Amino acid sequence: MDQASINALRALDVTPRGHFINGAFCASETGAQHQVLSPIDGLPLAQIAEGSPTDVDTAVRAARVAFEDGRWSRMAPAARKKVLLKLGDLIEAHALEIAVLGVRDNGTEINMAYKAEALSAAATFRYYAEVIDKVYGQIAPTSHDVLGLVHHAPVGVVGAIVPWNFPLMIGSWKIAPALAAGNSVVLKPAESASLSLLKIAELAAEAGVPDGVFNVVTGRGAVVGEALALSMDVDIMVFTGSGATGRRLLEYSARSNLKRCYLELGGKSPNIIFADAPDLAEAAKISAAGIFRNSGQVCVAGSRLLVQHEIFEDFVAEITLHAESFRVGDPLELNSQIGAVHSLPELEANLDFVTQAEAEGAERRTGGTRILTETGGYYMAPTVMTGVKQSDNLFQNEVFGPVLAVTPFKDEDEAIRLANATEYGLAAGVWTANLSRAHRMVAGIRAGVVHVNTYGGADLTVPLGGVGQSGNGHDKSLHALDKYFDLKTAWIKI
């Protein structure tokens, strides 16, 4: 990856050819299009197809036909494996192109996008390809004259809705295991970040995924997402995004066919620094990256920093220096460490959080402003706020931006109480040299992932899922397959 190659890809026309349905690109039934602005400069980037309920019905029907005729669902697992391995290879071969496409769409810094989006997606497809011919059913311990078998059966048609912050990484977490298990998929990307997933659909067809098995319908959540979730022919919905949308999906499930909904929702993750942390300088460095990379637009971002009172001022000073040292800029420049906020409304919402926090008595140590306005893009200075109380909006609610809320604590009991004092439970971090304390904190914190003496980096071998209002179900690891299989019992008289 070099700057010249990135610049060449920056100049390419990226307007897609419409939805991807039944193995081909097609225009929306209405002919309508949606303009996408690039967060890099605020200028029009592409026109994508503005999906309609009819488009969704067409995609779901194609997915259902493909599932029922068995072109994929009854293909031998070893054969599906070969196709998905080829898809992983194709994604890796096109990794830089895909990464640049995504950065132009959503503003993630290219160094992160190349690894966390393109290469991560390639690895995810390979992981589930390798797994799927190693998943066995079971023989039940029944009486001698009965054979009880437990089969894993694909569920059917999977509806997937993925967000704009890491569309390809999160999309692959859902698409890869769903396809590996033999299901058909209808995917709705975020309307502001669809380009890389449309490219993946094209590569999937090239790899040999049969027509109708993987479909992408672009457009607005209030239209395309609603139609997908209300469809009587979608068997499960998988979703990553906001709690408000997650609630609507559950409502649509109740109004339609009671489809199962697996939801990875918001987070307000605590990152807890004890005075006995093995390396406070390292803790500050990693903690700063854990909130500020990708402009804080990370589901598991350590957005609440809880610092033991005896090291509070020194640690805040250290993390403030890190915040001020990051190079914020054009995300397609290799020397930029932090890219753009995804959209102008997101940027304005971030700034409003800072304003309200100050009104509630918090102190701004650094940042809190829009920067690089001359570019026309959406950039925000990394922000550190101290004096944030448990009752404050900034403590309780997800910003999804580069804003760190810092709160002191006295001891383990208070740290656990503060960590658990929100409705969320997605991730957490603990920094301590005391092994017993680390285990007590892991046990006491309500979260799907608890990092100890690090923050972030958990790979595909472990699950990601939330508790509380951070959702249900799990992405990643072997456990992700559970969503995409039904258990079927065969009770056979011998």
Contact 330, 320 (CB under 8 A): no
- Dihedral angle of Cα 478, 479, 480, 486, to the nearest 10 degrees: 110
Query: 50, 264, 346, 398: which one is catalytic?
Result: 264
Backbone angles phi, psi at 151, to 5 degrees: -100, 150
423 catalytically annotated:
no
* Pick from 148, 152, 153: nearest CA to 490: 148
Q: Report the number of secondary-structure helices (H) and strands (E) in the chain.
A: 16, 21
Structural element, H or E, at residue 9: helix 3-10
Tokens 């007590």, located at residue? 440
How far apart (Å, rounded) are the C-alpha atoms in residues 155 and 347? Answer: 40
Quickly list DSSP for 224-253. Answer: IIHHHHH-TT--EEEEES-HHHHHHHHHHH
* Pick from 386, 389, 449, 454: nearest CA to 418: 389
How far apart (Å, rounded) are the C-alpha atoms in residues 460 and 447? Answer: 18
Three-state secondary structure call for residue 304: strand
* Pick from 18, 23, 12: nearest CA to 48: 18
343's CB contacts (< 8 A; 6+ apart) are: 37, 39, 192, 378
Number of neighbours of residue 434 by Cβ within 10 angstroms:
15
How far apart (Å, rounded) are the C-alpha atoms in residues 435 and 453? Answer: 11
Partnered with residue 151 across adjacent β-strands are 488
Contact 167, 101 (CB under 8 A): no
How far apart (Å, rounded) are the C-alpha atoms in residues 188 and 197? Answer: 9
How far apart (Å, rounded) are the C-alpha atoms in residues 428 and 468? Answer: 14
Q: CA quadruple 365, 369, 372, 374: dihedral positive or negative?
A: negative
Number of neighbours of residue 70 by Cβ within 10 angstroms:
10
22's CB contacts (< 8 A; 6+ apart) are: 58, 59, 62, 211, 212, 215
Partnered with residue 428 across adjacent β-strands are 450
How far apart (Å, rounded) are the C-alpha atoms in residues 276 and 221? Answer: 47
Tell me the catalytic residues: 264
